Amino acid sequence: MNVAIVGIGIHPFGRFDGVSGVELGAHATRRALRDAGVGWGDVQFALGGSLSFALADSKEAQADALLPQLGLTGLPFVNVQNGCATAGSALLMAAQAIESGAHDLGVAVGFDKHPRGHFNADPGVHGLPSWYGELGMFVTTQFFAMKINRYMHDHGISRQTLARVAAKAYRNGALNPNAWRRKPFTEDEILASRMLNYPLTQYMFCSPDEGAVAVVLCRADHAHRYTDRPVYLRSVSLRTRRFGSFEVFSPWLPLEGAPSPTVDASRAAYEQAGIGPEDVDVAQIQDSEAGAEIMHMAENGFCEDGEQEAMIAAGETEIGGRLPLNTDGGLIANGEPIGASGMRQVHETVLQLRGDAGERQVPGDPRVGYTQVYGAPGVGAVTILTT
What digits encode the pLDDT tens for the residues 167-210? 999 999 999 999 999 999 999 999 999 999 999 999 999 999 99
Name 38's Cβ contacts closer than 8 Å, sequence gap at least 6. 7, 105, 216, 226
Q: Is 170 left (phi over 0), alpha (psi -120 to 50) or beta?
A: alpha
Cα dihedral 22, 11, 17, 197 in deg (nearest 10): 100
Q: What is the pTM of this model?
A: 0.94
Higher pLDDT pick, 114 / 284:
284
What are the residues whose beta carbons fall under 8 Å from the beta carbon of 88, sequence distance 6 or more? 82, 236, 238, 342, 371, 373, 381, 382, 383
- Quickly count: other Cβ atoms within 10 Å of residue 153's Cβ: 9
Q: Give the pLDDT mean for 120-142.
A: 78
* pLDDT value, residue 124: 80
Give residue 313's identity as a one-letter amino acid code: A
pLDDT tens for 45-80 read 999 988 765 443 445 556 678 899 999 999 999 999
Q: Over the stretch 206-240, which tens digit does the pLDDT of each residue have? A: 999 999 999 999 999 999 999 999 999 999 999 99
d(Cα 168, Cα 10) in Å, to the nearest integer? Answer: 22
CATH number for the domain formed by residue range(s) 129-205+237-386 = 3.40.47.10
> In degrees, to the nearest 5, what angle opens at C-alpha 214 toward C-alphas 209 and 219?
155
pLDDT at 54: 46
108-128 burial, b for 16+ CB within 10 Å, e for fewer?
bbbbbbbbeeebebebeebeb
* Higher-pLDDT residue of 315, 80: 315
Q: For the chain, what are the domain ranges?
A: 3-118+210-225, 129-205+237-386
Query: Does 385 or 376 have the greater pLDDT score?
Result: 385
- List the beta strands (DSSP E) in 177-209: 195-197, 200-201
CATH code, 3-118+210-225: 3.40.47.10
* pLDDT given at position 45: 97
Cα three-residue angle 73-77-80, rounded to 5 degrees: 155
pLDDT of amino acid 119: 64
- Residue 361 pLDDT level (bands cut at 50, 70, 90): very high
